Amino acid sequence: MRIFLAFLSLFMTAGSMAAEVEAGLGVMVGELTESQVHIQVRLNEKGTFKGTSGKVEFRLKPVFNGKTITQSLPVNSQKDFIARATFKGLAVNTKYVCNTRIHVNGKEIVGPVARFKTLPGKVSSDDVSFVVTTGMNYAKFFHFDKVKKAKPGEKNLLHQKYSDIDQHLGYPALETILCIKPDFFVGTGDNVYYDSPDKIARTEDEIRHKYHQQFSLQRFRDLYAEVPTYWEIDDHDYRKNDCDRSGNYLPSPATGRAMMLEQLPVCAQDDEDALTYRTVRASKDLQVWFVENRMYRSNNNETDGPGKTIWGETQKKWLKDTLLASNAKYKVLVSPTPMIGPDDAYKTDNHSNTGGFTHERDEFFKWLKETGLDKNGFYIACGDRHWQYHSISKEGINEFSCGALVDANARIGRSPGDPKSNDPNATITQPYTQSEPSGGFLLVRTIDSKLSFEFYDEKGQQLYKYNTR
């Protein structure tokens, strides 16, 4: 009898020690429009990133009156234990709340809650705002990366240790953005770094770990529960620094694309053929374009000319056609990489780089002038560069670089006339560039049918503001 009771006690103890399940990355809302949205949750064993099978129930309803729409989705290893629900036919310009319930082993657990407001769309001139970011370098934030020697007169940011509370909660700029509460958040690429701090994450599991460790930070979970997202990718979260599609190494181009579609709510979960370039009509006054700069490009080392492209002919035609078709007062192109710069002279992987892809850029800017779009509310916001700037090309096109999200990943940029830049003859006009490095973001918003571009640092200090006429 004692042996039986001991065995029973051991069995009950083992059962009670079974791993608890949670949504450790919180909830993320993506591709918000006036009538549609994706909402995703990942299940894992509590305290680890190990995925857990189960089921997630999404209960979406308007905050003020209206019926609840429910979707119940299975969770398994095929999609990295992520459940992503797509809701269509939503009411325009309406506040919603989405409660989630996790079902595992016959138990129901309360999951994270998402709140958002659908966009005004083309029928309303209500104010709209969005934040543009890049360079969310986890390794540098936590000082895993190699420390670079500061230039004379420049503080060595990698020695500026973040406070214990920041290291526990994550990037301070995320809390600042949450206080602003924009209508949506744009990650332009380098959202995670496959090739930092030292070796490249080559396998799908290694890449997934990069997303898990970063998006599990509390400030990410807090922000994405309240602010919907749009995502692009760039070199560091496609393959490696300055990459194109060439080279027989891992991760492959196919893996880079697959991980974007799996980890980020850019499309319906079963849409493997989704286009990663798209546009959203945010309001009657504002339309935003998100382009794809890695998946269709020519090799970086090809001779620049008519046949060399970042966008590819199909995307380029789509971009021109949709720009011409738009009657929005303001048209903002969000590019993962700069088109104007200036940038470092040695680089060859973006539209601003000599020997890179300037022919395609020049042809596009010429087309903007021929169609009159250059004087019809067209602007560029870009990521990639680790400093904030406002530049104007010789054609009169305005570009705003959002700069790195975190101080530890920021640097002083190149200015027009700098012999180490790709604009040594100072053909670019630059109303603003940072005088010392700091992390932060770009806030774009319409107020009373006027458009503004505002730069902020991590803590929310406004560094520069440009208002359209």
Where do the DSSP E strands lie in 291-428?
A: 330-335, 378-382, 388-392, 398-402
CA separation for the pair 348, 261 (Å, rounded) = 27
Per residue in 128-158, pLDDT (tens digit) is: 999 999 999 999 999 765 545 555 445 555 4
Q: What is the CATH number of domain 21-117?
A: 2.60.40.10
Q: What is the average per-residue pLDDT within 244-248?
A: 97
What's the pLDDT score for residue 151? 55
Tell me the pLDDT tens digit for each residue of 375-425: 999 999 999 999 999 999 999 999 999 999 999 999 999 999 999 999 999
**Considering the entire predicted model, what is its pTM?**
0.94
CA distance 356 to 346: 10
Average pLDDT (318-345) is 98
Please tell me the CATH code under which domain 122-467 is placed: 3.60.21.70
- d(C-alpha 218, C-alpha 425), whole Å: 46
β-bridge pairing 450-457 and 462-467? antiparallel
Residue 336, exposed/middle/buried by CB under 10 A (0-12, 13-18, 19+)? buried
3-state secondary structure (DSSP) of residue 196 = coil
C-alpha to C-alpha distance for 202 and 195, rounded to whole angstroms: 9
Give the percent of the chain with pLDDT over 70. 93
* All residues at 6 or more sequence positions from 64 whose CB lies less than 8 Å from its CB, including other chains: 95
Helix, strand, coil shares of the chain, percent, nearest 5, are 25, 30, 50
The residues spanned by each domain of the chain are 21-117, 122-467
- Per-residue pLDDT at 39 exceeds 90: yes
What's the pLDDT at 159?
Answer: 47
Q: Of 444, 387, 441, nearest to 411 (Cα)?
A: 387
Helix/strand number for the chain, H first, E second: 9, 22
Is 70 strand, coil or helix? Answer: strand
Each residue's pLDDT tens digit, 261-301: 999 999 999 999 999 999 999 999 999 999 999 999 999 99
pLDDT at 234 over 90: yes
Task: Tell me the pLDDT band of 444, cut-offs 50, 70 and 90.
Answer: very high
